[in-house]
A and B are shown apart, each in its own frame.
Chain A
Amino acid sequence: MALDVRLTHWLAYRLLRLTLVLFCVAALAFGLVMLSPIDPVDAYLGPQMAQVSPEQRALIAERWGFESPPAVQFGHWLRQLLSGELGWSHIYNQPVSEVISQRFSRSIMLLSSAWLLSVLVGFALGVIAGAKEGSTLDRVISGYAYITASTPTFWLGIVGVLLFSVYLGWTPICCAGPPGVLSQEVSLLTRLHHLALPVATLTLLGIASITLHTRTRMIALMRSEIATHAFAQGASRIDIAWRHGIRHASLPALTLAFASLGELFGGAILIEQIFAYPGLGQATVEAGLRSDVPLLLGIALFTALFVSVGNLIADSLYHLIDPRIEQGPL
């Protein structure tokens, strides 16, 4: 009972903190955009800037308040934000909220499947490597993890495209579906076919951190008194890894997986760029390159929310699951 009350308080505090952090992200992103040397009217006009006279430019600046001090503009933007209005994206000619929801619905397939696969595979590899520390298998697995941890995401994507799409022709070279076909008409199988290589690339890279983290946990466990006691009971290494190891390593692995959503998203930006996959990552790069300020701000806020919720889940896991919580988190 007392635990529930404490948990509720803790959660309320964390949610408050989350709101504060999001506010700070908004302020930071807005401040950075204000710093930009790019003229906001040019940014607003995009490619049409040559067709506009100086008078019209002044009108635009007045209409959007570009002349008022940054604090006033920020207040204005924040008020719009609270009423659910994220602004207009000039490169897609759509409201920002629509661009984000459309793009994210495509990205989520990529993100979630890569996340799930890398957690599962990474965890399994970590358990195996840690249980047999020093064996050939361990060396192969940790060597793989160290190498992929140093691999540039986008390079692996390029190599993947070269090998599987250009030479072997197993996977399509770009996009979320065949060119010229409306996205509603693309069958599930085709969709998966287009997703396969991006997901595989993102997974291969995501595995490393989970594997190394789990391996460290497993090695600590295999050297602990718990393992010695189990050995004394006649348990084999596999038995210990299965019964004790998975219990001890799963929570830290899951925590890490939730805490590293930001990195996953960063990887997705690069992967989507290489595979020309029309997701949120690609929209981010477009917004950055073509100075679509409202979209850039919207995406920054949205991803911050996404990552913060991941962090919140990561922190909560111990409070919710670990039986030792009465003694405080580990």
Chain B
Amino acid sequence: MLHIDRLTLQLPYYQPWWKRRWATCFEQISLSLMPGEIHAIVGASGAGKSLLACAIMGLLPEGAKTSGQLVFQSEPLTPARQCQLRGRQLALIPQSLSALDPLVRSQRQVSWAARRAGQAKANAWKSAGQALAHYQLNDAAQRAFPHELSGGMARRVLTAMAHVSHAQLIIADEPSVGLDPRQRERVMAALKALADQGKAVMLITHDLRHALPIADKVTIMRQGQCMETTTARAFQGSGDTLSSGYAKSLWQALPDNAFSLPVAQVAASKEPNSA
């Protein structure tokens, strides 16, 4: 559905005064998202995951420089097409709960998302109610302001906003952050259900453990580089089928596994961080 071909993103920054320099946020990323699949993007903070999401949605800050190609449903995804498809074919579930407007009741916010996806006014209101009900949000929650909702409920409102747009590609940016295990499972199940409807889901997370139970494919990112793309099944046992050292040590470092950190790996992982 979405093919990313050697995508590179550079953002400008300014050394004191007037010299403009370029910071490479990610480099030569290639991925393919398939319908009906959950594709997890895993990496530490600063790996460029969220910017990748912005690049796909076309929400990069002004002045950003990109190279490489995006192909969506076998047509190039140009900025103009991104603008056209945003909210209709491409949907983003943002990372932060502050993406909800604190002054607007949840059903109204979801109906706005539906309106922006091209639905008629009366229809949008109804489908917003249905979408919220679909995510087990009752009447009271539909009438509530965001600050009256729990973290898990607010997260489901955000998911409902992506759901109501009937988008084919859904990017979920850190949907499990700050949730207790039960709430997290509910949100993850909701994403799984979206994939089962034939949509492509891109799941961005920093925690490999949260991604593995539902993901079909996993891409490990580090410092703006794509380390490895593999099936979720590859992460088992001692991780011998994993080809890159970073992915392997990431897997082995999990508490449930060996909990081991090879000395050389620690040194290697520290070094670029300080750079």
Q: Which of A273-330 contact B (CB under 8 A)?
A: 322-324, 326-327
A233 touches B113 (CB 8 A): yes
B101 touches A247 (CB 8 A): yes
Q: Which of chain A's residues have a CB closer than 8 A to the CB of B94?
A: 225, 228-229, 232
Distance (whole angstroms) from the CB of A246 to the closest CB of chain B:
10
Distance (whole angstroms) from the CB of A226 to the closest CB of chain B:
5
Q: Which of B56-94 contact A (CB under 8 A)?
A: 57, 59, 83, 85-88, 90-92, 94
B98 touches A247 (CB 8 A): no
Check: B202 CB closer than 8 A to any chain A CB.
no
A225 touches B92 (CB 8 A): no
Given A232-B86, A235-B116, A322-B103, 20 other A-B residues pairs in contact with their CB atoms under 8 A:
A225-B94, A226-B98, A228-B94, A229-B94, A229-B100, A230-B112, A231-B59, A231-B86, A232-B91, A233-B86, A233-B91, A233-B165, A234-B83, A234-B117, A239-B116, A247-B101, A248-B103, A323-B102, A324-B103, A326-B147
22 A–B contact pairs at CB < 8 A?
A225-B94, A225-B98, A225-B99, A226-B98, A229-B92, A229-B100, A231-B59, A232-B86, A232-B91, A232-B94, A233-B91, A233-B113, A234-B87, A235-B116, A244-B101, A244-B104, A247-B104, A248-B103, A323-B103, A323-B145, A324-B145, A326-B147
Determine the distance from Cα of A229 to Cα of B117 in the docked complex, in whole angstroms.
13
Determine the distance from Cα of A324 to Cα of B104 in the docked complex, in whole angstroms.
11
Q: Which of chain A's residues have a CB closer than 8 A to the CB of B83?
A: 234
A243 touches B112 (CB 8 A): yes
When A233-B165, A327-B147 are in contact, do A226 and B113 touch as well, CB less than 8 Å?
no
Q: Which of chain B's residues have a CB closer than 8 A to the CB of A324?
A: 102-103, 145, 147
B145 touches A229 (CB 8 A): no
Q: Which of chain A's residues have a CB closer than 8 A to the CB of B116?
A: 230, 233-235, 239
Residue of B nearest to A326 (CB): B147
Check: A93 CB closer than 8 A to any chain B CB.
no
Check: A224 CB closer than 8 A to any chain B CB.
yes
Determine the distance from Cα of A228 to Cα of B94 in the docked complex, in whole angstroms.
9
Most buried by B among A224, A229, A231: A229
Distance (whole angstroms) from the CB of B141 to the closest CB of chain A:
15
Determine the distance from Cα of A68 to Cα of B27 in the docked complex, in whole angstroms.
88
Check: B236 CB closer than 8 A to any chain A CB.
no
Check: B150 CB closer than 8 A to any chain A CB.
no
Check: B243 CB closer than 8 A to any chain A CB.
no
Q: Which of chain A's residues have a CB closer than 8 A to the CB of B99?
A: 225-226, 228-229
- The interface size bin for chain A is 20 to 34
Q: Which of chain A's residues have a CB closer than 8 A to the CB of B85?
A: 234
Q: Which of chain B's residues have a CB closer than 8 A to the CB of A244?
A: 101, 103-104
Distance (whole angstroms) from the CB of B9 to the closest CB of chain A:
17
Determine the distance from Cα of A34 to Cα of B99 in the docked complex, in whole angstroms.
59
When A232-B57, A233-B112, A248-B103 are in contact, do A225 and B147 touch as well, CB less than 8 Å?
no
Determine the distance from Cα of A224 to Cα of B103 in the docked complex, in whole angstroms.
14
When A233-B113, A324-B145 are in contact, do A247 and B103 touch as well, CB less than 8 Å?
yes
Residue of B nearest to A224 (CB): B98
Per CB-CB distance, the 5 closest pairs between chain A and chain B, nearest first, are A234-B87, A229-B99, A233-B87, A232-B92, A234-B86
Q: Which of A227-257 contact B (CB under 8 A)?
A: 228-235, 239, 243-244, 247-248
Distance (whole angstroms) from the CB of A231 to the closest CB of chain B:
6
When A243-B112, A248-B103 are in contact, do A232 and B98 touch as well, CB less than 8 Å?
no
Distance (whole angstroms) from the CB of B207 to the closest CB of chain A:
21
When A225-B94, A247-B101 are in contact, do A232 and B59 touch as well, CB less than 8 Å?
yes
Q: Which of chain A's residues have a CB closer than 8 A to the CB of B103?
A: 244, 247-248, 322-324
Residue of A nearest to B118 (CB): A234
Q: Which of chain B's residues have a CB closer than 8 A to the CB of A234?
A: 83, 85-88, 116-117
Residue of B nearest to A226 (CB): B101
Check: B269 CB closer than 8 A to any chain A CB.
no
Determine the distance from Cα of A247 to Cα of B145 in the docked complex, in whole angstroms.
13
Distance (whole angstroms) from the CB of B182 to the closest CB of chain A:
25
Residue of B nearest to A225 (CB): B99
A226 touches B161 (CB 8 A): no
Residue of A nearest to B97 (CB): A225
Check: B32 CB closer than 8 A to any chain A CB.
no
Determine the distance from Cα of A140 to Cα of B88 in the docked complex, in whole angstroms.
35
Check: B96 CB closer than 8 A to any chain A CB.
yes
Per-position 1/0 for B163-186, Cβ under 8 A of A = 001000000000000000000000
A228 touches B59 (CB 8 A): yes
Determine the distance from Cα of A239 to Cα of B92 in the docked complex, in whole angstroms.
18
Determine the distance from Cα of A226 to Cα of B83 in the docked complex, in whole angstroms.
18
Distance (whole angstroms) from the CB of B109 to the closest CB of chain A:
9
Residue of B nearest to A229 (CB): B99
Residue of B nearest to A239 (CB): B116
Residue of A nearest to B82 (CB): A234
Residue of B nearest to A327 (CB): B147
Residue of B nearest to A248 (CB): B103
Residue of B nearest to A251 (CB): B103
Q: Which of A207-239 contact B (CB under 8 A)?
A: 224-226, 228-235, 239
